[in-house]
Amino acid sequence: MKKLAMIMAAVLLLSAIGASASAEEYVIELDPMYNVPTEELLERFPITYETPAETEMAKKIQNRMLNGFNTWNLGYDAWEHWGEVLYSADSIYNVHGAHLTLAEYQASMNAALQATDIQMGQFRNMILSGDWAAIRYDTSMTNRQTGETTFSPVTEFVRFADFGEKGAKVDEGWGGVRDASMQGMLYFMTEEERAYQKELDDAILHIVLPETDNLEEKYPITYPTDLSTDMAKTIKEIILSEFEAWNDGAWDTWADQYCTESIVYTMDNKDLTLEEAKTELSQKITDLHVQRVRLDNLIVSEDWAGVHYWNVVTDENGAVQPMDTMTFMHFVNTADGVKVDMCNVNQGF
């Protein structure tokens, strides 16, 4: 009997160890729920202007982004669980210009989803290069109290880190451009973090562009990615020349040279002709003084480019603030050289 009791005790101990090991073996990043194959997801969420995911890292990022679309419309708790897959404890997300830790970002999203029903619409772009993704997609936002629905495009620039079999996770992201929403984001930050935010802002405000004709030196890319193809090199030249033309007050001349006559220029969620775009931008220049000072991203894949840059904006009262712009541009070969035939501009001023 003593021997039988010892055997039974050993069996129970092994069972307990096995159950514990089984519980510990669950890795949320490997859960099939969050790892739907890319091919299946692209059928559900086709990308309007699809460009390739050519490297293993790009494929990891693409799959993770599409799985995010697949799990979005399930409420905050589901989003938070998905966050364990997409983010690490050290992830940073800049929301409408506010530099948030993961916990702060989660708190802001919880508040947003309690007040607003946010639904994902069409996926427009996913431009991948190195460990970066530039994405653009449509959303609908319904106020839970009033029932009013608005439609808005969203743009994001995201740098990922490779976590091996756990896939790609966000290192730091920029979601949406700085606008009036930023003041609400400050509520979720500590006093120390608000002070750090001011340091980030002051660094942009104090940029002095060098006096040089070398535009690569004048507008260096903060987060460089591969631009080695002939098309990418040409796109870079065109975009740097646009920066210079804008700061020289000669954007109209640049547009006549580098935009097709039939360009669709989308700004403030409105599709404009080239002449209409000139008029709108001329009015902005009249109301505000806007200088482009820092080029954070130029992400190119085939004939598409995602561009994220910072401006110093001075209003009519002399108030100065940093404001960013996110632009998605499509380029075509014409008889007169490479030109822009689609441009989608997202900015908060």
Q: Give all domains of the chain, ordered by start, each with its CATH number.
A: 31-199 (3.10.450.50), 210-347 (3.10.450.50)
* Dihedral (CA of 234, 259, 268, 282) sign: positive
pLDDT score, position 158 = 98
Q: What is the mean pLDDT of residues 291-316?
A: 97
Query: Which region among 20-34, 91-105, 212-226 has the lowest average model confidence (pLDDT)?
Result: 20-34
- Give the residue from 110, 69, 104 showing the smallest Cα distance to 86: 69
User: Are 179 and 348 a contacting pair, CB within 8 Å?
Assistant: yes
pLDDT score, position 24 = 67
pLDDT confidence band for 6 (50 / 70 / 90):
very low
Which amino acid, one-letter code, is at 15? S
- Over residues 311-349, the pLDDT tens digits come to 999 988 999 999 999 999 999 999 999 999 999 999 999
Residue with tokens 């008889």: 335
Residue 2 predicted with pLDDT over 80? no
Q: Where are the beta strands (DSSP E) in 110-242?
A: 116-129, 132-143, 149-162, 168-175
pLDDT confidence band for 23 (50 / 70 / 90):
low
pLDDT score, position 154 = 95
Tell me whether strands 259-267 and 132-143 are parallel, antiparallel or unpaired.
Answer: unpaired
pLDDT score, position 19 = 46
- Over residues 114-168, the pLDDT tens digits come to 999 999 999 999 999 999 999 999 999 999 999 999 999 999 999 999 999 999 9
pTM given for the model: 0.91
Residue 242 predicted with pLDDT over 60? yes
Residue 8 predicted with pLDDT over 80? no
pLDDT confidence band for 14 (50 / 70 / 90):
very low
Q: What is the mean pLDDT of residues 36-44?
A: 96
The mean pLDDT value of the chain amounts to 92
Residue 12 predicted with pLDDT over 80? no
pLDDT score, position 75 = 75
Residue 217 predicted with pLDDT over 70? yes
pLDDT score, position 79 = 86
Residue 5 predicted with pLDDT over 70? no
Count helices and strands in the chain by DSSP H and E runs: 11, 12
pLDDT score, position 7 = 42
- Over residues 63-121, the pLDDT tens digits come to 999 999 998 877 788 888 999 999 999 999 999 999 999 999 999 999 998 999 999 99
Inter-CA distances, 104 with 74, 179, 228, 313, Å? 20, 18, 38, 27
Residue 186 predicted with pLDDT over 60? yes
Cα 268 from Cα 146, distance rounded (Å): 24
Q: What is the mean pLDDT of residues 201-210?
A: 98
pLDDT confidence band for 57 (50 / 70 / 90):
very high
Angle at 120 between CA 114 and CA 122, to 5 degrees: 165
Identify the DSSP state of 186: G
The phi and psi torsions of 206 (rounded to 5 degrees) equal: -95, 10
Cα 241 from Cα 36, distance rounded (Å): 42
Q: What is the mean pLDDT of residues 45-53?
A: 97
pLDDT score, position 88 = 97
In this structure, what token pair is assigned to residue 118?
């946010």
Residue 21 predicted with pLDDT over 70? no
